[in-house]
Structure 1
Amino acid sequence: MAGKVALLLWAQTLGLAGAQTTQLLVKPPWRPAVLWDGVTLMCQGSGTAGATIWYKDGKHWGQKRRDHITVTESGTYECHRPGSGLSPPVTVSDGDRSPLSPDGLVLQVPVRALLEGDTVTLRCRGRWNRTVTSVSFYREGTELRGLRDGAELSLSPLQLNHSGRYSCKGWVKYWAWQQSAPVTVTVHELFSVPVLVLEGPPEITEGSPLTLSCRSTPSPLRPPAPLLYLFYQDGRVLGGPQGSPQLLLPAVGVSHSGNYSCEAQSQGGTVRKSSARLRVTVHMPVANATITPGPLAHQVHTGDNVTLRCSVQVGSAPVTFTWLHNGQEVAQGPLLELRDIDVGHSGTYQCVATNQLGQDGHRVFRALSPELALEVTPQGHRNTAVAVNVGRALLFLLLLLAVIGGCHWWHRRDPPEQRAALTTHIMGTEGAAGPPEVSPRPAPPRDPQVTNAELSGPQKGQRDPRDYENVL
């Protein structure tokens, strides 16, 4: 039963591989085929089974007009169908006279197409099923260690680098070392290396959708199996694993710019393949144009040099700049250099930033900066202002010097002895109410040896001699 299933699968494979071509199927499905396995050959192609023509060793074998035969003789067999032509040849060996196994050992490989991810077993057999021990396997003449299991070699999962020429060596019963003829193993791709494609317009603008498609072609040697897809942006998983080969981002922004790639893998992940990187750039309309003044302030003077710079916060290159003076275009480029300016340069300045996006630049975006007011002052006004300021400073210095001189003169006006003679005369009556009277008059000059004092007596007009007293 297992042999019938294998034969059917191989028939499907060959039918997919070569549409409307004649194929010669082998049961049991091993190559090279050997007589002691009781080989049956089946011719598959267009037309009726009765129209099948068989060939052995290049010669017409006309007595066989059925679509299948049982082989009893070694040789090379072919079949022909009227609608699909001649099949590829199949060789059946008896194990001792065939050049495929001159020493009595045969290394057999499954006849089905071998694809990535498969598990395949190579078996080393003695002629007419003689026992083989101490078997070693070789690939391109190099011994394979750690892979053999008795007389069989298992390769799983198959990879493309498993392709090559294999042989085996072993001890055959009756004490003889034997080595098989080489057999070629070809591993086919399960699916092609994926290619990441950007669907839609080649230029992506902010807010527009982004569709990525991971395209991979399945092998024609086998019915296509479902694959899983993953999508990456700058090495980080963006989507998947998923059954759909497409990834849709409904609205992209500047953060979606980067390197994208995709990975296709078989169910179970035994075969994985990654695409090359695809650079995606999200183009941004210009926005937030600003003017940066040069080294001078907004108020400048005639003869000065002024440099203004226009820049944008966002905007994909190329960006062009246009300068407006009082609403009129005056220059192009990101810099506006005004040399030896005069009063005519006064006014408002603006810059217009422009970029073109979309295929063939059919979408134009503009950003207008705020106004910058520039006031140019004539050179003479500046000199007058300087003179006024200098005059004010000199006047202040003169007033300060006058105050200092007046204070100095006040202190030096009278000699010290005169300033000491200045006294305050206080007159008052004992018991009288009210504050004393202060007389600022200076005291009369005195004799240095005599001091006279007049005292009021009890009666007006009378003098008592005792009222006078000489005071030394």
Structure 2
Amino acid sequence: MLLRMLEEASVLLWASLLVLAAPVSGPLAAVYKSVISVQPPWTTVFRGERVNLTCSGFHFYAQEKLQGYRWFSGKARPRETPGNTLEVRDSGQYRCQAPGSLPSNPVHLIFSSASLILQAPYSVFEGDELVLRCQKRGREKLAVVKYTWNRKIISGTDESFDLLIPKASLNNSGCYQCVGFLENAYVLKTSQINIQIQELFSRPKLEVTDSQPIEGKPVNLSCGTQLPLERPDTRLHFVFFRDNGVMISNRSGSPDLQITAIWREDSGSYWCGAETVTGGIHKRSLPLQIDVQRIPVSGVLLETQPQEDQVVEGETLVLVCSVAKGTGNTTFSWHREDTRESLGQKSQRSQKAELEIPVIGESHAGRYYCTADNGYGLIQSQAVNVTVRRDGFQGDIIRRPLTVGPPGPFNPMCPAPVELQQLYINVHPRERDLVYSEIQISQPGAEGEANTFRTSLENQHVSVVYSEVKTQL
């Protein structure tokens, strides 16, 4: 008695594990049931016939390791067999357990003594072929056979006594009965059989990592479904949709989809679909609303490259407008403060944009500012002052010797002839055509004394006097 109680408790424990360990469509599927197959494939046969049960399992690590196959029959003591086949002749409920698998679902067999029986398969999943067979005991043959479904006649033929549904659906579940007509007009009826078509996989459920994601962030979608433990190898394809059936993914064996960056215009109703690889069974999830959140722009800043007080005439000025916060498509605009003139505009998904002024001139000096707007209102930066300066001299000065006359009353302080020396290395390109025609180099002496002239420019007290400058065209 104690042994039987322990065995029944073990069966209940396995049954509780079935709920917790049901395989899913992803990589978590790891726990499987044993499966019984029936041959001949009917749960109702005539008394005196034999039925062979075959137990199949999907091996995984189990707490209980069986040496053989365990069989359960009602309240009888379980028994083990070295092989996976058991021959039965008695009505009852049978289950099996293969090594490394959970116990199977029960099979209820009927060995009938009736004259007419309706034979149905043990287990039918949606998409399977459903065959019902009306059988009469004895030599007298049936003339006509009709089938009823939920008390409605659904078939009647003189050619075949089988009822065939090529691709069963959940809607085909119900009570079936067979009505046979003999040649002498005698009518036989079978008992009603309740046939329940099982789901091949559950209705998918769409899940999202964040239903209100921040714009520009990644979002992961998952289309979860559950396979029966008897059909763990069923292959499915998944596809994802948005709003009115807009497909956002190709059919794939993976139930997951990653959107690398989602934007506000991607807000809407999302749903997913799952289907068998053969395309026979299709199911879709309930819709899921995703509302993408946009962050308004703030902290608008205008910077210049080079800095505003180091801009040289003729060079390129770059105005850089940036925002500290803000997502989505932002419209940047650049302006002069004095004229409010728009210098340019750019719209892009970025927190920074640049405007380039290729050749800067003195007319470009002034104060500048920029604005940014991503749909929540225009935000203006503080103005920056741009000062344009002319660069130092560049290039060599044209040099030539000076010829002067001898000292005289009209030229009492005339120095000796000197050659022009290069004063500056850097001369602006526009000033390369300047020619210095006369240079005096003098050093003041004591009061009342004649000045002493020098030809060297190295003395730090020397003062340079340009007496004439002309342009060589």
TM-score by length of 1: 0.48
Greater share of helix residues, 1 or 2?
A: 1
TM-score by length of 2: 0.48
Greater gyration radius: 1
